[in-house]
Amino acid sequence: MIERLLVLSIKYTVAVFIALALLSCNQPKEEISFQAINWEKRAVDPTVLDSLTTGSTYLSVYSEIYQISENRTYHLTVTVSMRNISSSDTLYVFNAKHYNTKGDLVRNYFDKPIYINPLETVEIVISEGDKEGGTGGNFVFEWGTPVAHNEPRFEAVMISTTGQQGLSFSTQGIKR
Distance CA 156, CA 61 (A): 7
What are 82-117's pLDDT values in tens digits?
999 999 999 999 999 999 999 999 999 998 999 999
pLDDT tens per residue across span 119-128: 999 999 999 9
Residue 50 has a pLDDT of 81
28 compared with 151, residue with greater pLDDT = 151
Rounded average pLDDT over 7-14: 54
pLDDT at position 10 is: 60
Number of separate helices (H) and strands (E) present in the chain? 2, 12
Rounded Cα gap, residues 163 and 148, in angstroms = 47
Across the beta sheet with 121-126, what order do the strands follow? 121-126, 77-83, 153-162, 165-172
Confidence label for 44 from pLDDT (cuts 50, 70 and 90):
confident
User: What's the pTM value of the predicted model, to 2 decimals?
Assistant: 0.76
Domains along the sequence of the chain with CATH: 36-175 (2.60.120)
pLDDT at 23: 46
Q: What is the pLDDT of residue 28?
A: 45
Band of pLDDT at residue 18, cut at 50, 70 and 90: low
Q: Is 84 exposed, middle or buried (0-12, 13-18, 19+ CB in 10 A)?
A: buried
Q: Is the pLDDT of residue 130 over 60?
A: yes
